[in-house]
């Protein structure tokens, strides 16, 4: 080994680390694994930009969490999200995204995701509500969602919300550097089904950061050891949608967005944005 490649303190130079990563990725590619393209592996500068976007995004969710109450319309929440985001120099990513008309997705009870805020939708006692916030700051995207319980909620719905939160945590814990995306989905599916619930198949987590939705697709079901190699520098969401009944969903034919459970039973979702590091996942927005 050439002495020139080492710094005085014995740490390998950046070029050597890059060579090492290249060799490692080639090894996996040769064995038939899906390996991320270079553009998906974020630089430290890009990760810092996404982290700062995530700080605003998390701030929006904290603001909503402090404000939600029975009697509030989802349009009021939409206005809070818009105002907070722009006053922090950022842009709500959903607004005008592929024609989405509002700044945030708000999904109540049997609505799985992509609910459109409206003056006509009023939060009521007993509802479980997902608020899904995505932010663009200086061109960097972040994405996270939380569930809120409105007033007194039945034990049945409360348990769905709790188990879904556990699914996100358990999925994140299953993600190891140089593991696979499928490790995440397998862990989530196991936990959901063990609790008598089903995992939505038609919608997934996703790479995020330079665009709203990038590769890889992060399914919340499937098999360990499959899917893209989890290379440090990958930034992606995990956002399990867990149904009390059947996993099948429908899309509203009129608005083209609102996703509902086919059987009308409740659904819950939690989402964080993560970066894979040499030591495992780190949260960038929650």
Residues 244-273, mask of contacts with ligand MF3 (x by CB under 6 A)? ---------------------------x--
Kindly state whether residue 97 participates in binding ligand MF3, applying the rule CB under 6 A. yes
- Nearest residue to the partner ligand MF3, using Cβ: 94
Exposure string (b/e) for 174-209, b if CB count within 10 Å is 16 or more? bbebebbbbbbbbbbbbbbeeeebbbbeebbbbbbb
Shortest Å, Cβ 154 to ligand MF3: 26
Which residues of this chain interact with Co ion, rule CB under 5 A? 143, 237, 239
Kindly state whether residue 214 participates in binding ligand MF3, applying the rule CB under 6 A. no
For ligand MF3, which stretch binds (CB under 6 A), given 50-58, 98-106, 223-231, 278-286?
98-106
Q: Which is nearer to ligand MF3, 19 or 255 (CB)?
A: 255
Q: Which is nearer to ligand MF3, 110 or 132 (CB)?
A: 132
CB atoms within 10 A of CB 37: 9
Q: Which is nearer to Co ion, 24 or 213 (CB)?
A: 213
Sign of torsion over alpha carbons 256, 259, 264, 266: negative
Tell me the three state secondary structure of residue 21: helix
Q: Which does 114 bind (CB under 5 to 8 A by kind): Co ion, ligand MF3, none?
A: ligand MF3
Question: Are 113 and 268 in contact, with CB atoms under 8 Å apart?
Answer: no
Give the separation between CA 174 and CA 68, rounded to whole angstroms.
Answer: 32
Name which position in 53, 81, 106, 114 contacts ligand MF3 (CB under 6 A).
114
Exposure string (b/e) for 89-113, b if CB count within 10 Å is 16 or more? ebbbbbbeeeebebbbbbbbbbbbb
| First-to-last C-alpha distance (Å) of the chain | 44
For ligand MF3, which stretch binds (CB under 6 A), given 20-28, 90-98, 222-230, 275-283?
90-98
Residues that bind ligand MF3 (CB under 6 A): 94, 97-98, 100, 105, 114, 132, 134, 143, 239, 271
């Amino acid at each position: 080994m050439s002495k020139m490649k080492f710094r005085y303190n014995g740490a390998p130079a950046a070029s050597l680390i890059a060579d090492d990563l290249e060799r490692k990725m080639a090894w996996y590619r040769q064995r038939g694994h899906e390996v991320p393209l270079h553009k998906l592996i974020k630089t430290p500068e890009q990760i810092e930009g996404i982290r700062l976007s995530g700080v605003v995004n998390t701030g929006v969710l904290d603001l909503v969490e402090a404000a939600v109450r029975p009697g509030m319309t989802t349009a009021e929440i939409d206005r809070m999200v818009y105002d907070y985001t722009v006053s922090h120099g950022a842009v709500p990513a959903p607004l005008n995204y592929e024609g989405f008309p509002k700044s945030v997705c708000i999904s109540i009870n049997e609505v799985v995701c992509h609910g459109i805020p409206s003056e006509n939708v009023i939060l009521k006692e007993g509802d479980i509500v997902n608020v899904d916030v995505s932010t663009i700051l200086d061109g960097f995207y972040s994405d996270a969602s939380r569930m809120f319980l409105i007033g007194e909620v039945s034990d049945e719905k409360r348990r769905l919300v709790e188990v879904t939160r556990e699914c996100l945590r358990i999925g994140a814990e299953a993600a190891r550097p140089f593991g696979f995306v499928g490790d995440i989905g397998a862990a989530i599916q196991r936990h959901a089904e063990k609790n008598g619930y089903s995992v939505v198949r038609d919608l997934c987590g996703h790479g995020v950061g330079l665009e709203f939705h990038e590769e890889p697709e992060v399914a919340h079901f499937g098999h360990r050891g499959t899917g893209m190699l989890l290379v440090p520098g990958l930034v992606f969401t995990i956002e399990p949608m867990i149904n009390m009944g059947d996993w099948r969903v429908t899309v509203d034919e009129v608005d083209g967005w609102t996703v509902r459970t086919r059987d009308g039973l409740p659904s819950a979702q939690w989402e964080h944005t993560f970066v894979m590091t040499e030591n495992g996942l780190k949260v960038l927005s929650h």
